[in-house]
Amino acid sequence: MAKKKGRTPRRIERDTYPRPEHRFRDAKIGMTWKDSEPDSPGFQKAPPGAPNIVLVLLDDVGYAWPSSYGGLVRMPTSERLAQEGLTYCQFHTTALCAPTRAALLTGRNHHSASFGVVGEMATGYPGYSGILSRSCATIAELLAPNGYATGWWGKNHSTPLNQASAAGPFTHWPTRRGFDYFYGFLGGGTDQFYPALYRNTTPVNPTGTPDQGYQLTRDLANDCIAWMRAQKAIAPERPFFVHFAPAAAHGPHQPPLDWRGRNAGRFDMGWDHYREVVYQRQLELGVIAPGTRLTSRPKELPAWDHFDAEAQALLRLQAENYADYLEHCDHEVGRLVHVLEELGEFENTLFIYILGDNGSSAEGSLTGTLNESASMQGIEPPIEASLARMGEWGLPGTTPHYAVGWAWAGDTPFQWMKQVASHFGGTRNGMIVSWPAWIADKGQKRFQFHHVIDVVPTLLEVVGIREPVSVDGVPQKPIEGVSMAYTFDRANAEAKSTRTTQYFEMLGNRALYHDGWTACCRHGRLPWVTRGSASFDEDTWELYHLDEDFSQSEDLAARYPKKLRELQDLFLLEAAKYDVFPLDDRFAERADVTLRPGFFVGRRRLTLYPGMVRLPESSGPKLANVDHAITLHARLPEDGAEGVLVCLGGDTAGWSLFMEDGRMRYHYNWFGFERFDVLSGTALPGGEAELRMEFTCETPGRPGGPAVVRLLCNGTVVGEGRIARQVPGYFGLGETLDVGEDTLSPVWPGYRDRLPFRFNGSIDRVELELGEAAPRSVAELLEEQLHQD
């Protein structure tokens, strides 16, 4: 497409997909081929000059980490694209990952798309089902029938997790929502060294080990590059849509081994001084408005100087490790840019680089954690436990996350962080747009107020295709975003934003933006606390005038009560319109699989077979804090049995029943902080055998309590022991139940070098029995424990 100026936006009309077929309409049919004229149906072509589209979405990156926004994390790809394109300084997300992704891909508000919260907390209400509504087609479902090749790499988090097994259904997987190709993972997070990967709908293993240089972001970029090259080699005239959504910089913070240590010493100043340094850099870069004030630290958050020198060394390491991780991610995004140049496609590629799906994450506790799954479940070992393992931080076997103070620093100059949708620390993210063939105003800033739902209508306008009224027979909700394409023109650099109103809500935190003002209400639970609910009647609202207060630093609620009431009333109208009600502030209490339908809910017996691996914990039977027994009908080799019989979990937490040196062994991993073993007294003889493990909770009805494990061979007890504590809720994000081997990360580090540590005998079947009494829901147990605590 030739470079143009002063472009008049195309009028977006509505349409129906798929369009009626008009094949052979120009054919003439005679009695024989000799008196007939054929007509080839051909391929659907994209509109003339339609650009390639690369949509990059990073994870858990606050406004103040990237160097392109004044941060100290060196991200040269973002800087280069900013120099060649436009930097957006008032772009907003939803404050949480899956809701932002649903809004980004559909152009509808997250509640409208049924993603008012992450799928792991979905409930049975229209705005919270965690099932991406069919009435909200994805951008891929619109681009594909208009001649685009479509592919998605990295984090999905849109497929219902109770539909993530080999049984499907696959209706809501990427390849059934408009994407020709998918290579990535389904949940909210995954181990960067042992990711739970899928190619389309098939589980696949990583292409290497950490020692061989394997790391997920690198793998995703390699695969995406191969796909782009193949597309242009085969169909050079066909544009493509690439959605590149790496896990970085979501926890666990795991840079490749060859990128470790690159930021040593960079964060010695601590989080309080970091904010001051970055604030000045932001003013100099012009990514915050002149006169912006730096907001103060929340009273609940400790100052950097609160910690002694030893603790500060650990906290510095956490930020260094995170920076290594994020810098590597930016490097891999840069490889995508380079291949576009290599193919001669960069000039006509609309490259949208969104630097985070929410603010920086506070989900690592006040002192950081070596195990983010533990932190997410309220398990916070003393800082001494982390100090003793500083040398392991970020290595395979750890799943670390930095301390809350760094999340606050990463959202400079704003208040709060991820989850807190009431304030810009939770919702304002950087976005850079490059399109050399179209954007002439290179290296400039844009301050129009926009939201993630505005990306889809922007793409529709620049491509020149129609907004649908129906897709696959499903009537469509109107797209709720507005186009940002007007900002591409230099003449509109100072134009008034086309977005005048936008609501925000997440976990009870809520806000309403309207014509330069925001009414904000941070509700109840702090974002680093995992349990508890608060009264909505006791909330306090704040009021800010953004035209004069870019960072929400001066609360005007007492001065302008009528304006506050006006915006509060408008919030209620918007919330009713977009399915925000009922407000729900529960966090860990909603992470109960029994709250959502599934194939295993209510079942007490099931049979598994050899080769059944990669059954996600979220899609399988619930085995934490419930009595259960596992019986294997197997044949043991005469020369000594070795290998995994059945396991669930990995480095984060889990259990594994396996054979070693002929002995049966049960290993329970409590978040890597404690480990418990039960072994048979002697090696078991070869031949046919019935192997059984019985797990009995000592304190039924209370999560995390002790349990007794018995091991039996052919009905005889061969081992017995005690598990001092259980995980309270789940074993880990992305980990799976496996028969005959341990896929992904190992439950027991002793067989890490032998993964997948396949059983060297044979298994006929595995019978799983759950206790006769149905377990109480995790929500009930956590609520009871909260009151007892």
In a domain, 37, yes or no: no
Largest CA distance in the chain: 93
Q: For position 13, what pLDDT does the model report?
A: 55
Q: For position 733, what pLDDT does the model report?
A: 77
- Mean pLDDT along residues 312-330: 99
Query: Do the beta carbons of residue 228 and residue 340 sit within 8 Å?
Result: yes
List pLDDT tens digits, range 494-506.
999 999 999 999 9
Q: How far apart are CA 46 and CA 53, in angstroms?
A: 12
Mean of all residue pLDDT scores within the chain: 94
Of 135, 44, 128, 143, the closest CA to residue 455 belongs to 143
CA distances, 260 to each of 320, 388, 493, 598 (Å)? 9, 19, 41, 41
Q: How far apart are CA 703 and CA 700, in angstroms?
A: 8
- Mean pLDDT along residues 515-528: 97
**22 vs 734, residue with greater confidence:** 734
Residue 617: strand, helix, or coil: helix
**379 vs 92, residue with greater confidence:** 92
Q: Which residues contact 649 (CB under 8 A, 6 or more apart)?
A: 617, 655, 656, 669, 731, 732, 735, 747
**61 vs 703, residue with greater confidence:** 61
Residue count of the chain, please give it: 789
- Residue 125 and residue 207 share a domain: yes
- Residue 443 and residue 358 share a domain: yes
In a domain, 244, yes or no: yes
- Residue 387 and residue 310 share a domain: yes
Q: Does pLDDT of 271 surpass 80?
A: yes
Last residue of a domain, one of 537, 564, 590: 590
In a domain, 168, yes or no: no
Band the pLDDT of 602: cuts 50, 70, 90: confident
Band the pLDDT of 6: cuts 50, 70, 90: very low
- Residue 353 and residue 369 share a domain: yes
Last residue of a domain, one of 472, 493, 513: 513
- Residue 480 and residue 562 share a domain: no
Band the pLDDT of 744: cuts 50, 70, 90: very high
Query: Do the beta carbons of residue 757 and residue 748 sit within 8 Å?
Result: no
Tokens of 758: 């396949």
- Residue 469 and residue 414 share a domain: yes
Q: Does pLDDT of 176 surpass 90?
A: yes
Band the pLDDT of 786: cuts 50, 70, 90: very low
Residue 161: strand, helix, or coil: helix
**530 vs 207, residue with greater confidence:** 207
- Residue 495 and residue 546 share a domain: no
Percent of the chain with pLDDT over 90: 86
Residue 769 belongs to what domain range? Answer: 593-788
CATH label of the domain that carries residue 522: 3.30.1120
C-beta atoms surrounding 555 within 10 Å: 15
Last residue of a domain, one of 455, 486, 513: 513
- Residue 276 and residue 179 share a domain: yes
Q: Does pLDDT of 8 surpass 50?
A: no
Tokens of 308: 């002694």
In a domain, 61, yes or no: yes
Tokens of 28: 């003439």
Q: For position 776, what pLDDT does the model report?
A: 47
Beta strands in 611-686 (DSSP E): 615-616, 628-636, 643-649, 654-660, 663-670, 674-679
- Residue 397 and residue 532 share a domain: no
- Residue 399 and residue 262 share a domain: yes
Q: Does pLDDT of 150 surpass 90?
A: yes
- Residue 737 and residue 685 share a domain: yes
Q: Does pLDDT of 14 surpass 90?
A: no
Q: Does pLDDT of 75 surpass 90?
A: yes
Q: For position 25, what pLDDT does the model report?
A: 79
Q: Does pLDDT of 781 surpass 70?
A: no
Band the pLDDT of 304: cuts 50, 70, 90: very high
Percent of the chain with pLDDT over 70: 96
Q: Does pLDDT of 452 surpass 60?
A: yes
Q: How far apart are CA 649 and CA 194, in angstroms?
A: 12
- Residue 582 and residue 467 share a domain: no
Q: For position 491, what pLDDT does the model report?
A: 96
In a domain, 140, yes or no: yes
Please tell me the total count of domains within the chain: 3
In a domain, 518, yes or no: yes
CATH label of the domain that carries residue 637: 2.60.120.200
Of 351, 499, 417, 452, the closest CA to residue 91 belongs to 452
Q: For position 618, what pLDDT does the model report?
A: 85
Q: For position 447, what pLDDT does the model report?
A: 99
Query: Do the beta carbons of residue 770 and residue 628 sit within 8 Å?
Result: yes
**381 vs 581, residue with greater confidence:** 581
Tokens of 729: 């809720």
Least trusted range by pLDDT, from 30-44, 266-280, 351-365, 763-777: 763-777
In a domain, 29, yes or no: no
CATH label of the domain that carries residue 64: 3.40.720.10
In a domain, 187, yes or no: yes
Band the pLDDT of 778: cuts 50, 70, 90: very low
Phi, psi (rounded to 5 degrees) for 150: -130, 135
Q: Does pLDDT of 762 surpass 50?
A: yes
Return the percent helix, strand and coil in the chain, to nearest 5.
25, 25, 50
Q: How far apart are CA 745 and CA 476, in angstroms?
A: 42
Q: For position 599, what pLDDT does the model report?
A: 78
Q: For position 318, what pLDDT does the model report?
A: 99
Phi, psi (rounded to 5 degrees) for 361: -85, 135
Mode of pairing for the β-strands spanning 149-155 and 240-245: parallel
